[in-house]
Amino acid sequence: MAELKVIGVDIGGSHITSSIVDLNLLNLIEGSTFSVKVDNKASKDNILKCWSMAVNQSIEYMDVHDEIRIGFAMPGPFNYKKGLGMFIGNNQKYESLNGVSIPAELSKYLHADKMDFRFLNDATAFGVGVASMGKAKDYSKVVAITLGTGFGSAFLQDGVPQVTVDNVPKGGFMWDKPYKLGLGDDYFSTRWCVKRYKEITGEETIGVKEIAEANNDSSRKVFLEFGSNMAEFMLPFLIKYQPDLIILGGNVSKASALFLPALKNKIKDTGLQVDFEISDVLEEAAIIGSAKLYDSYFWEQLKNTIY
């Protein structure tokens, strides 16, 4: 079998990680992984320079005489088909990249002559990754959830994202669907936990880890509400899709022991039979998922649904 190496890139809110992926083995090439911190409020050029610092180090491990293929796990809002930033009004990250063509502009900073770029939503890339090499690979219908600075989701069948079918929300995204006084993203993220803990206690906290470590009645109340709300919000989508597995990843999922019982119980009370897993890989899964955009069989199933 011919060796097939692709660069996979995970774009986070505060850093970028780049690595070479062996698509035959679905693993990261040892020594080719590099991370660089990024100020997502910085100028376009500063952000692209930081991104290029990581990607260029991975490129050094490639044969630059060949076309360098780079798959990106990219947060939204983003035009994944065109590689175009759509971050206006996001008020959280990468607003200076709004309207910017990443293939056209990032290429200026990369040390290669021939390059090709493909893009996938970061939560979808995580789902593709775990469905390919993680705990989810033994299940047919999977819902992958990322819980961190934002709320990401992907609906997969036999490892392929379902984005335009009738029984999933458009794109497989739930973050932008209405819930209570806002959107899903407002309730299932670090900032909701921090905000709710302050409402209950009057205390400022840095993040979910600090709230979990408090281990008091107030922190337990926060996580009980988080799990119950999440079940209430997701149930209409889950009932429609009938998944075999829900797999959770991201920093908030590290506190799953505190909110998962409420989430599971409320879902199972409806009669929906579904397994739950907490992924121990996030970034690696997203990198592998983005690199899989260059798996020809996978790409043929996905390319006409990316938008």
Rounded to the nearest integer, the mean pLDDT of the chain is 93
pLDDT of residue 137: 85
Percent of the chain with pLDDT over 90: 85
Q: Is the pLDDT of residue 275 over 70?
A: yes
pLDDT of residue 93: 83
Q: What is the DSSP pairing of strand 68-74 with strand 5-11?
A: parallel
pLDDT of residue 3: 62
Q: What gap in Å lies between CA 10 and CA 59, rounded to an integer?
A: 15
Q: Is the pLDDT of residue 92 over 70?
A: no
**Structure tokens, 287:** 């990198």
The pTM (predicted TM-score) of the whole model is: 0.92
The DSSP code sequence of the chain is: ----EEEEEEE-SSEEEEEEEETTTTEEPTT--EEEE--TTS-HHHHHHHHHHHHHHHHTTS-TTSPEEEEEEE-SSEETTTTEE--TT--SS-GGGTT-BHHHHHGGGSS-SSEEEEEEEHHHHHHHHHHHHSGGGG-SEEEEEEESSSEEEEEEETTEE--SSTTS-GGG--TTSEETTEEHHHHSSHHHHHHHHHHHH----SSHHHHHHH-SHHHHHHHHHHHHHHHHHHHHHHHHH--SEEEEESGGGGGHHHHHHHHHHHHHTTT---EEEE-S-SHHHHHHHHHGGG-HHHHHHHGGG--
- List, for residues 43-87, the tens digit of each pLDDT value: 999 999 999 999 999 999 897 778 999 999 999 889 999 999 998
Mean pLDDT of 223-252: 97
Mean pLDDT of 222-250: 97
pLDDT of residue 13: 83
pLDDT of residue 1: 47
Q: Which CATH architecture has domain 138-279?
A: 2-Layer Sandwich (3.30)
In this structure, which topology does domain 5-124+284-305 adopt according to CATH?
A: Nucleotidyltransferase; domain 5 (3.30.420)
Q: Is the pLDDT of residue 210 over 90?
A: yes
Q: 5-124+284-305 with 138-279: one CATH topology? A: yes
- Which residues lie closer than 8 Å to 70 by C-beta, 6 or more apart? 6, 7, 8, 9, 55, 115, 116, 117, 118
Q: What is the DSSP pairing of strand 245-249 with strand 275-278?
A: parallel
* Confidence grade of residue 89 (pLDDT, cut at 50, 70, 90): low
Q: Is the pLDDT of residue 4 over 60?
A: yes
What are the sequence ranges of the domains in the chain? 5-124+284-305, 138-279
Mean pLDDT of 191-218: 95
